[in-house]
Amino acid sequence: MQDYKSISNPLSISCSSHMSLISEAKRIKMYRVPYASVVGSLMNALIYTRPDIAQVAKVLSRFMADPSGEHCDTIKRILRYIKGTSSVAT
């Protein structure tokens, strides 16, 4: 993630509650992704230093039991946002 460019918006318009897995193969692949760990880290950052990521953390936490590839893309997006705004005081 160090080589990714930063972005200015933490949540894409396409991220919604309608995201779902397409196949069982993708579901099995998602079990290897530390999704819950990353969302937990975002929640910790939200509480202590980053209230600007509250909306995206709320959306991502809804899918802890069954995340999809789109949710992982959203996590990458929020990490890019945090990288780009790490020097901004909130």
Q: What is the pLDDT of residues 46-86, one digit of tens each?
A: 898 888 888 888 888 988 887 877 888 888 888 888 888 87
Confidence band, pLDDT 50/70/90 cuts, at residue 31: confident
8 assigned to some structural domain: no
The alpha carbon dihedral of 34, 40, 43, 45 has a sign of negative
Is-above-0.85 flag for pTM?
no
74 assigned to some structural domain: yes
10 assigned to some structural domain: no
With contact defined as beta carbons under 8 Å apart, do 79 and 10 qualify? no
Whether the pLDDT of residue 3 is over 80: the answer is no
19 alpha carbon, distance to own chain's centre? 13
The tally of domains found in the chain comes to 1
9 assigned to some structural domain: no
50 assigned to some structural domain: yes
With contact defined as beta carbons under 8 Å apart, do 40 and 75 qualify? no
Range(s) of the domain holding residue 45: 24-84
Cβ atoms within 10 Å, residue 62 = 13
- Those residues whose C-beta lies under 8 Å from the C-beta of residue 85, and which sit 6 or more positions away, are 6, 8, 52
